[in-house]
Structure formats: structure tokens, C-alpha cells
Amino acid sequence: MSTKTFFRLGVIFVVLLLLSGTTYVVNEAEQVIVTQLGEPVGKPVMTPGLHFKLPLVQKANYFDKRFLEWDGDPNQVPTKDKRFIWVDTYARWRISDPLKFFQRLRDERGAQSRLDDIVDGETRSAVARHDLVEVVRTSNREAAPIETGSEEETVLEKIQTGRQVIVDEILKRASARAADLGIELMDFRLKRINYVEEVQKDVFARMIAERNRVAQRYRSEGEGEAARIRGERERDLQRIQSEAYRTAQGLRGKADAEATNIYAEAYGRDADFYAFTKSMETYELTADPKGMLILTTDSDFLKYLKRSP
Amino acid sequence: MNRTVFEDRIHIDLDRFSEYAYLRKYLRPAVILLVFLILAFMTVYQVQPEEVGVVTRLGRFVRISEPGLSFKIPILEAVQKVPVQRQLKQEFGFRTEEAAVQTRYSPNAFPEESIMLTGDLNVAVVEWIVQYRVSDPYRYLFKVRNVEETFRSMNEAVMREVVGDRTVTEVLTVGRQDIETAVQEKLQHLAKQYDTGITVDQVVLQDVNPPDPVKPSWDAVNQAQQQRDRLINEARAEYNQVVPRASGEAEQAVLQAEGYSLDRVNRSQGDAARFKSLYDAYRRAPQVTRQRMYLETMQRVLPKTGGKIYLDKDAKGIIPLFTLEALQGRATSKEASQ
């Protein structure tokens, strides 16, 4: 069996090796630089599919064609208004010129560390050139009205540049510096912005104070309103009662006056007779079974008793 | 090329097992069958209903295969399955550990994801989820490396951008809907710009809170609000307790006065009418009438009076004869009877 079979196997192995050395497969997400003994040869291969090269002396160097991520380390950066914040950024980039990329950076690891230098640097200087509020806010949008609190609404500070402009600026500067490396920066964003711990404490304290102010306001609003309603109650009560009293007294007075007029008109015809009838009525009304009546004989009633007929 | 290798292998195997004639007879067809099966297995593949298959030939994209059984050229073609129909979800600031009727959440918070600055430079803790689908499997696979991670970063950046444009009160109270819409729009725009092949279905805010150290003071505000409403309501209740009754009572007093007026006027008119009639009669014979009225009155009064003392007009000093007690007693009883 042996020698012949081994020979045949050997031939097949060598043929396979040569074949595999002459072909390489580029997939959709890749691009290739062919190097001959380390020196780049020809144009970068961008189209996916099967490609050929010289075996042994030429080598296919693969690069990613897709958008790649770059994630910055969170950085402690002071803003223009001297507030220390953590800034965490990310960027999307791609290898736009694989030849340059290969010559300058060799591989992605090299690229990441160069991007760290470039983007972090630009971020740092851009943030330092602006106030914190400019980095946080994007537009001079008006805050939506809050129905309950009148003074509760904190008015949003006006900004001059805003986040988007700063971000664009960083992207532009970083792109310019990265272009020479065969890198195209697609997008840059501020992922996270946060106060550093010491500042955060102050901010929380401020928020608490502000909330307390609002709460205090609500409380005193409630007390004030309640007092006002109580006052209203007192006033309405007095008004209603006094108005009723006034009306009632007026009515009574008018009636008294009318009655007086009527009496005067009637009794005025003969005051003496009135006095007489009224006295008679009164005698009758005041007659008291337990009372004692002392009469003298010079009264009209008894005058006949004394005078003998 | 491949076939040669296989046949060769078969030769070797046959040589090794040459002693066994029985095996030699059956091994060749068995191996051929096996190779055939393997090739068939590499040719046929199944795509699940919620997926599509992305087929590449020697690395080059050639076609997308729909759900069901499909065929490909073995070895040369490769297929990657992408779940385009499935709704995918990412969580920010929290993690669902086990989704069930009673969903369990991871006890670890992810503050670095959820703490953000608001437009008035306050701090809010915002948790949210995003639901999305892969709408373009080609872009999803070949345009962006590490799409999921990219998408997370986009989410965080966009959410902070939107929250950074609002006051903390807005973020915590009325602004939720508004924020969700804004984030979704911007995110969709960005996903397109990055060629991710992702369609954003929905952004849903979950817990949105003030930071823990500040929470009690937010609660205090709510409490104060309640307290204000309570105080006002109490005062209103007091008002309502008193004022309508007073109105009724006032009306009563006025009506009573009206009654008094009617009474007074009617009575005076009655008295006047009576007097006038009497007077008209009296005028015709004043002396006699007067005398008669006097005497008649006396007639009625005297029987009703308890004690009567008739004194001669010339009798003086008779009064001291009565005991003081008797007079006093009579006086008090008179007062009492009044």
C-alpha cells in the first residue's frame, strides 16, 4: 500500500496548499490589502468574493469595512464655569483608506489608541471652552408649562451654542486629524455626562433646598388660602346677618310709623275721648282678683253712696 | 478536488480492513452513502418563520431566503439567519432577570446608565426600554460591527440629549410622553444614519425618579401639596357649614319683620276703625255715653277685684291701720301675677 499512496497524498497536499495560497475570500464586511514581502501591492480589494494572489510571497491583510465603534474612557473634565464632570463619549468610524490605514496604524488596536488621543483631546478642550449648560442643552426650547406650581417652574437658562454644535465641532476637528490615518469619523456623541462625586453632593443639596422651598410655598399657600376663606366666611356671615337686621328693622319701623299715623288720624278726632275709652279698657284688663281697690267717696262711682238722697 | 480526497480516504480504509472480506464488501457503499448524506445535510437548511436567511457565496452576498426549506451550494455558500420578525428589546438602568407573570428584576441597579443631567442642571434617574426590529438584515450584518453595542450607545446618547433639554420637573412629571416620542424619532434617524438596518418600534420610559438622596424632599413637596388642598377644603367646609344657614336665618328674620309689619298695621287699622265707629256714636250724646261707659266698666271691674275698701273722702290717716306685711304681701303677689 504504502509508498505509492503516500506519494499520492503528498502531491494532493502540495496542490491544495498552492491553491489555497493563490486564492483568498473577501466577505461583505471586509476589505483587503495585498502585501508582497510586507510591501503593499496594487489597489485595496473592496469587492467581496474570491480573489487571487501569488502564493507564499503575497499575503492578504484583512480590514473591516463596516462602521466600527470607539468608546472613550470616562474622563474627568472641567467646564469653562469650573465644574468638574465625567464625560463619556463614543464615536463611529470606519477605515476609509485601508492603504493609509495599513501604513500608518498597521491594525485596529493601533487605531483605537490613536483615536483615544485625538478624540479625548478634542473633547477635553471643547468642553473646557464651554459652560456646563451649553454641553447639556441642545436648544433654547421653552419648558412645558406645569399646571400646578406657579413659581415651581424653573426657567431654563438660555444657551448660546448648545450640545449639538459642540459635538459637531469636536467631530470636525477630530475628523481632520484622523483623515491622515485613513480613518473616517462618521459620528461623535457625548454618551454620558455626570457630576463628579463632590459636585454631585452639592447639586443634591441644592435640589433638596429647592424642593423644600416649593413645599414651603405650598404649605403657606394652603394656610393663606384657608385664612382667606375663613375671613370670607366671617365677612359674609356679618354681612348677611346685618343686612337682614337692617331690612327687618326698616320694615318694623315703617310699620310702626304707619300704625302711629293711623292711630293719630283716628284718635286725633277727640283725644279726651280716646283717653277715656283707653282708661276704661285698661281698668278692665288690670282688674285683679287678689288686688285691693281703695275708692273714696268723691269718685264718680261712689258719690251717690255718700250723698244721701 | 474534495471528492478525490474522500475516495482516497476510502482506499486507505479498505486497505486497513482488507482482512475482513465481509467489511470490504459493505464499507464502500456505506461510506458513499455517508458522504452523500453529509452533502445533503450541508445543502438543505431551514429558515424559521420569524427569520430570514442571508446567503453569501464565498463571502459575497447573493440572496435572502424566506422562511421554509431552502437549498444552497455546499461549502461555497454560507447562510446566516437573522430574526427579522422578532421584536427585540434592550433595557437601560435595570435588567429583567426572569420574565414571568411576576417578573423578577435584577437587584443591581445600573446607575451609570440611568443617572443623567437635566436642562436646569439637576439630576434625574431615568430607566427605559427600547423595542426594535431588524428591518434590513443585509445592513444589520454587513454595515456595522457590533450593532447591539452601538445601538445601546446611541440610546444613551439620545436619551441624554433629550433629557438635557428639559427641566427636572418636566422629566419627572408631565414630560414623559414627549420624551418618549422625541427619543424615538431621533433614535430612528440615527439608526438610519449609521446603516444599522434597525427599525425602532417604541421607546418606553420606565421608572423616572429623582436621585435617592433627593427623593424624600420630592415626597415632601407632594405632601405639602396635599396639605395645601386639605387646608383649603377644610376652610371651604367651615364656610359651607355656616354661611348657608346664616342666609336662611337672615331670611327668617326679614320674614318675621314683615309679619310684624302686617300685624302692626292691620291691628292699628282695626283699632282705628273701632275707635272711629265708637266716636261717631259717642258724638251724638257725649255726656250720657261717657257716664254709661264708666259705670258699665265699673260694673265689670269691681266684681273681679279681690278686696275693696271704700273710704269717705274726709277720712284721713286710715292707711296706717293696715299692717305693712299685708300691704307688702299684696304688692308682691301683684307683681308676680303681672
Q: Does A154 touch chain B (CB under 8 A)?
A: yes
- Distance between A103 CA and the closest CA of chain B, angstroms: 23
Q: Does A81 touch chain B (CB under 8 A)?
A: no
Q: Does B37 touch chain A (CB under 8 A)?
A: no
Domain check: are A182 and A97 in the same one? yes
Domain check: are A82 and A142 in the same one? yes
Q: Is residue A269 part of a domain?
A: no
Task: Compute the half-sphere exposure of residue B159: CA atoms within 13 Å on the CB side of its CA.
Answer: 31
β-pairing, B307-311 vs A292-296, is parallel
pLDDT in tens, B245-284: 999 999 999 999 999 999 999 999 999 998 899 888 888 8
Domain check: are A45 and A120 in the same one? no
- Distance between B300 CA and the closest CA of chain A, angstroms: 7
Residue % of chain B over a pLDDT of 90:
38
Domain check: are A77 and A191 in the same one? yes
Q: Taking the complete model, does pTM exceed 0.90, yes or no? A: no
pLDDT band, residue B334 (cuts 50/70/90): very low
Asked if pLDDT for residue B337 goes beyond 50, the answer is no
Cell matching residue A102 = 495599513
If DSSP codes are grouped into helix, strand and coil, which group holds residue A296?
strand
- pLDDT at res. B310: 76
If DSSP codes are grouped into helix, strand and coil, which group holds residue A186?
strand
Domain check: are A31 and A112 in the same one? no
In a 10 Å sphere around its CB, with 0-12 CB exposed, 13-18 middle and 19+ buried, how is residue A34 labelled?
A: buried
Q: Is residue A266 part of a domain?
A: no
Residues of chain B in contact with residue A141, where contact means CB-CB under 8 angstroms, are: 119, 165-166
Q: Which of A108, A158, A208 to mutate to test the interface with B (most CBs of B within 10 A)?
A: A208
pLDDT in tens, B69-102: 888 888 888 899 999 999 999 999 888 877 777 7
Q: Does B210 touch chain A (CB under 8 A)?
A: yes
- pLDDT at res. B100: 74
Q: Does B110 touch chain A (CB under 8 A)?
A: no
Domain check: are A168 and A73 in the same one? yes
pLDDT band, residue A154 (cuts 50/70/90): low
- pLDDT at res. B335: 46
Give every CB contact of residue A30 below 8 A, 6+ residues apart in sequence: A48, A62, A63, A64, A65, B59
Domain check: are A132 and A21 in the same one? no
Q: Is residue A294 part of a domain?
A: yes
Q: Is residue A220 part of a domain?
A: no
Give every CB contact of residue A6 below 8 A, 6+ residues apart in sequence: none
Q: Is B178 in Cβ contact with A144 (below 8 Å)?
A: yes
Domain boundaries, chain B: 2-82, 88-210, 215-305
- Label each residue of chain B as H, E or C: CHHHHHHHHHHHHHHHCCCCHHHHHHHHHHHHHHHHHHHHHHHEEEECCCCEEEEEECCEEEEEECCEEEECCCCCEEEEEECCCCCEEEEECCCEEECCCCCEECCCCCHHHHEEECCCCCEEEEEEEEEEEECCHHHHHHCECCHHHHHHHHHHHHHHHHHCCCCHHHHHCCCHHHHHHHHHHHHHHHHHHCCCCEEEEEEEEEEEECCHHHHHHHHHHHHHHHHHHHHHHHHHHHHHHHHHHHHHHHHHHHHHHHHHHHHHHHHHHHHHHHHHHHHHHHHHCHHHHHHHHHHHHHHHHHHHCCEEEEECCCCCCCHHHCCHHHHHHHHHHHHHHC
Smallest CA–CA distance from A162 into chain B, residue = B165
pLDDT band, residue B134 (cuts 50/70/90): very high
Where is the domain boundary, A195, A215, A250? A195
Domain check: are A107 and A171 in the same one? yes
pLDDT in tens, A39-87: 888 888 888 888 888 888 888 889 999 999 999 888 899 999 888 899 9
Task: Compute the half-sphere exposure of residue A88: CA atoms within 13 Å on the CB side of its CA.
Answer: 18
Residue % of chain A over a pLDDT of 70:
94
pLDDT in tens, B278-305: 888 888 888 888 888 888 888 888 888 7
Q: What is the mean pLDDT of residues A104-121?
A: 90
Domain check: are A10 and A115 in the same one? no
Query: Do the beta carbons of residue B140 and residue B82 sit within 8 Å?
Result: yes
- pLDDT at res. B19: 58
- pLDDT at res. B336: 44
Cα–Cα nearest to A189, from A115, A74, A114, A92: A92
Asked if pLDDT for residue B328 goes beyond 70, the answer is no
Domain check: are A77 and A178 in the same one? yes
Output the CATH code of domain B88-210: 3.30.479.30
Assign residue A45 a region (left: φ > 0; alpha: ψ between -120 and 50; beta: otherwise).
beta
- Find residues 108-127 of chain A whose CB sits inside 8 Å of chain B: none
Domain check: are A155 and A112 in the same one? yes
Looking at the 3D structure of chain A, how many domains does it have? 3
Of B104 and B267, which is predicted with more confidence?
B267
CATH of the domain at A127: 3.30.479.30
d(CA A143, CA B175): 9
Of B1 and B48, which is predicted with more confidence?
B48
Residues making up chain A, counted from first to last: 309
pLDDT band, residue B181 (cuts 50/70/90): very high
Q: Return the minimum-mean-pLDDT range out of A177-181, B53-57, B318-322.
A: B318-322
- pLDDT at res. B109: 73
Domain check: are A83 and A169 in the same one? yes
Q: For residue A286, what are the domain limits?
A: 274-306
